[in-house]
């Protein structure tokens, strides 16, 4: 166990340069010395102990980060570029694991180098994990039940859309539609949620919500009310009790 430090502007620049170099030299050595060495880094404003625990999913990682920073104001953390970049280097072996050829396969730079712009921050594998977990708790599973190095389609498609990601009840509706318990007590995304060929898929949900946004106050609606408004193509995705309610309506009104 050790304590959290943060990168200085010099450290942020050196870390960004390292990530760029790693893209073309996947076997480049990791500059771990930067974690605890001025002028690259300085101790965090609050003494917080941290462990380089192995996490199976980003959901587990998010729960851990939430416990570390629970007493620190959200806005203070969101603007701390040096913290998120430092954590990315601290967990680099999990965020960019070595493949069978002894090289690290990279994703977008924004996965590792923090960018606070809303069109980019959601890609950061550390900051976005903390942010989504602390916003949605259990309902963040649909976003974060992936390996540490991966970004789910739900993050890519929903997190950059402010009208959706800022609406907790809308996210609860997404969770209710596309998440389920699988066999052996495991959980996961329902099969076909990403398939553009299947009625009521995630992309259709986004399109319908954009239409509803012009006629309804979605922020004021409960998750079940949002689900109830969805057209029939979403019936196979709805929780069974809601689908059964729809099927009974014609009988009641006859």
* pLDDT, tens digit, 9 for 90 and up, residues 154-212: 999 999 899 999 999 999 999 999 998 766 777 899 999 999 999 999 999 999 999 99
**Distances in Å between the alpha carbon of 2 and those of 33, 36, 43, 81, 83?**
14, 10, 11, 20, 15
Average pLDDT on 50-71 reads 97
Report which of 90, 171, 110, 111 is spatially closest to residue 136, judged by C-alpha positions: 171
The Cα-based distances of 44 to 3, 35, 52, 84, 193 in angstroms read 8, 11, 17, 11, 41
Question: How would residue 250 be classed by pLDDT, with cut points 50, 70 and 90?
Answer: very low
Assess whether pLDDT exceeds 70 at residue 249: no
pLDDT band at 241 (very low <50, low <70, confident <90, very high): low
């Amino acid at each position: 166990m050790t304590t959290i430090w943060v990168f200085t502007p010099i450290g942020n620049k050196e870390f960004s340069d390292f990530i760029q170099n790693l893209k073309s030299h996947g076997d480049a050595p990791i500059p771990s010395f930067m974690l605890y060495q001025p002028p690259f880094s300085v101790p965090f404003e609050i003494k917080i102990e941290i462990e380089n625990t192995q996490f199976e999913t980003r959901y587990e990682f998010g729960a851990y980060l939430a416990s570390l920073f629970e007493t620190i104001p959200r806005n203070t953390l969101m603007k701390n570029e040096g913290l998120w970049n430092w954590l990315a280097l601290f967990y680099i072996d999990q965020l960019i694991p070595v493949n069978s050829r002894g090289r690290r396969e990279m994703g977008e730079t924004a996965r590792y180098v923090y960018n606070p712009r809303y069109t980019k921050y959601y890609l950061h594998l550390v900051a976005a994990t903390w942010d989504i977990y602390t916003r949605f708790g259990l309902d963040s599973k649909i976003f974060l039940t992936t390996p540490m190095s991966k970004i789910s389609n739900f993050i890519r498609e929903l997190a950059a859309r402010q009208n959706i990601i800022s609406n907790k009840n809308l996210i609860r509706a997404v969770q209710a539609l596309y998440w389920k318990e699988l066999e052996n007590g495991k959980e996961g995304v329902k099969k076909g949620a990403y398939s553009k060929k299947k009625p009521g898929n995630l992309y259709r949900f986004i399109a319908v919500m954009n239409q509803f946004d012009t006629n309804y106050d979605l922020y004021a609606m409960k998750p079940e009310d949002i689900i109830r408004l969805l057209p029939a193509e979403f019936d196979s995705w709805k929780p069974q009790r809601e689908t059964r309610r729809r099927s009974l309506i014609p009988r009641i009104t006859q």
